[in-house]
Every structure is written in C-alpha cells, then in structure tokens.
Structure 1
Amino acid sequence: MIEPVALSDFFIVFFSGALIILLAALYAALFAWGKLQGGAGFRYGSWLTYGLLLACVAIFAKVLHLEGHWKILAVLMVVGYWWMPRLIWRLCTATHAHESGR
C-alpha cells in the first residue's frame, strides 16, 4: 500500500505535478520548433526542459513514496514523454508530405 503524503509535502506534490504537465508541453513545443526552424537553440532548450521534467518526476515519485508498479508507471510516463513528440512529428510529416511536394 502507498504511504500517505504528509500535509507539509502536499505543496511539493502539487507543484511538481503541475510542472510535469507544463514541462512536457514545453518540451514538445521546443522539439517541434526546433524541427521547423532547424536551430540548435530549440534543440538544446528541449533537452534542458526534458532534464527538468525528469527531475520533477523524480521529486514527484519520491515525495509520493511510489514503489513497485507505480514507479514502473512513472518510468513509462517519462519514456512516453521522450518518444511521443518524435512519433507525432513523423506522423505529421508523413501526413503532410504531399503538401510540400515530397
């Protein structure tokens, strides 16, 4: 059974959970802008954002005392956040390839 979160840790759980959502969206946006613009700045920004996302997930899992299958689920979530922008980008380029003449 999962150990309950202390009331003093509630703010940390809330804040890190919100940051996970925001950083995941920012990572996907920076990844897409990096692909569109071709600049290294967006690519490095997306890597930095993903690193911050990893830190937030680690804090979230530690404060919530996640163990066993919950920890595996957190790892799968982070892996999904890494691959989804890439797969969505490939889907979009394949879908719109006829528009660009490829």
Structure 2
Amino acid sequence: MKLIEEDSRGWNRHKLEMLFSPLEVEAIFSIPIGSLSMKDVLIWARSRDGKYTVKYGCYFLSCSIEYGCISFTSHNPSRKSHVWRSLWGMNVLPKIRSFLWKL
C-alpha cells in the first residue's frame, strides 16, 4: 500500500484516512515530499556537520532524560540518584540498559 501517489508525487489522502486519525492525517500532510531528482542523504541533526559520532549520541542521550542536560559528574547525590533511577527505569532492552550503565 503506497501512501504517496507516484503520478502526482503527493500524499494519498484516501489511504492515509484509512490508517490514521484525522489529526494524524493533517500532521502527515504538513510533511513536504521531496522531488525524485534529489538524492536522499543521511544526516545527524544533533551535530554541526551532520555526521553521527558516539560523542554526539551520548550528549543527546544525556540531554534527553526528562529535565534537560544532566551532568554525570555532578556532586549532587540526589541528582545522581535521579539519573540512575531514570536509566534503570528506561523501557529498553536489558542489554541496552547495561551498555548505558557501563558507558
């Protein structure tokens, strides 16, 4: 089932309305569709140069935890406790939690 009509290069409203709520359909319609002449490029929007590095990934992860950026070197014990509770409470695979803990 194609959600983009090939001839008009636009969204297929009928199919979208079958799959999504009206609010979601409007959100999808607000997403521009690129032209076929443009080549897709993978970028990491969180870095200046668009390239992913582990450093940027870790920084993004640490800033994603609930209340903004969290410093793991903080001398505030209650803040460290919050970080660890957030880490162990994440709804991810156990191996990912373990990796983050080791990191």
Q: Which fold has the larger relative contact order, with Cα–Cα distance below 8 Å and residues 6 or more apart in sequence?
A: 1
Query: Which of the two has higher C-alpha Rg?
Result: 2
Q: TM-score, normalised by structure 2?
A: 0.30
Q: TM-score, normalised by structure 1?
A: 0.30
Higher helix content, 1 or 2: 1
